[in-house]
Amino acid sequence: MSKSTNITWQNTQVSKQQRQTLAGHRSPVLWFTGLSGSGKSTIANAVAQRLYEEQVNSYVLDGDNMRFGLNSNLGFSAADRQENIRRVGEVSKLFVDAGVITLTAFISPYQADRDQVRDLLAAGEFVEIFVDTPLAVCEERDVKQLYAKARRGDIKGFTGIDAPYEAPTQPEITIDTSKQPLSESVEQIMRYLTNHGYLDLSA
């Protein structure tokens, strides 16, 4: 599908490993996936806050925000969501290369699209976090009143209502925000990062 020809990959003089050594930690992507209102942004931002307090560089890429800029020409058809996630995957890879822990909050409803991002990255760099909050709870929250609009038929193709959400088959972490408070989710993720050596380069 690439239209670019006659191009050659240029290696940078300073490597990813050197940037990670400078930062003092590894730089995975923490890929949050789940329904609208499941808690992706809230948890991602709380983890970013916690990492900041631990003096760890991180950055949150948020679905709504990316659609204001880089992805403003994309809608919510299956093809546009696929392209959305492909671009976010490529951007995430750059952040990983820069040595920054990257937290992404996108519905990313298709397993194949998430797997494509996983394949783009090195082993262990993609941590899939399934925010498995039941649809009924997301709809009850209806933070942006979008579920109400979707039920009225004012939005077509809304995830969970009349567009599919494919649950991850083998996520590294699963969180149900209807069963655990935000603080517990943050601790669960911090524990995972610590136990798997992401925050300690000597591990």
Ligand X SMILES: Nc1ncnc2c1ncn2[C@@H]1O[C@H](COP(=O)(O)OS(=O)(=O)O)[C@@H](OP(=O)(O)O)[C@H]1O
What residues make contact with ligand ADP under the rule CB under 6 A?
A: 34, 36-43, 105, 141, 143, 177, 181-182, 185
Nearer to ligand ADP (CB atom), residue 19 or residue 178? 178
Contact 96, 125 (CB under 8 A): yes
157 binds, among ligand ADP, ligand X, none (CB under 5 to 8 A by kind): ligand X
Place of tokens 């991602």: 44
Residue 165 to residues 24, 83, 162, 171, Cα–Cα distance (Å): 37, 16, 10, 15
Whether 185 sits among the annotated catalytic residues: the reply is: no
- Contact between 76 and ligand X (CB under 6 A)? yes
- For residue 63, the minimal CB distance to ligand ADP (Å) is 7
Return the range that interacts with ligand X (CB under 6 A); candidates 9-17, 42-50, 80-88, 129-137: 80-88
Give the span between the Cα atoms of 53 and 14, in whole angstroms: 27
Question: Distance between alpha carbon 73 and the CA centroid of its chain, in Å?
Answer: 20
User: Containing H/E element for 33?
Assistant: strand 29-33
- Which of 27, 58, 92, 108 does the annotation list as catalytic? 108
Contact 131, 39 (CB under 8 A): yes
Residues within the annotated binding site for ATP? 34-41
Q: In the complex, which residues of this chain contact ligand X (CB under 6 A)?
A: 36-37, 41, 63-64, 67, 76, 81, 84-85, 106-109, 144, 146, 155, 157-159, 163
Residues identified as active-site: 108
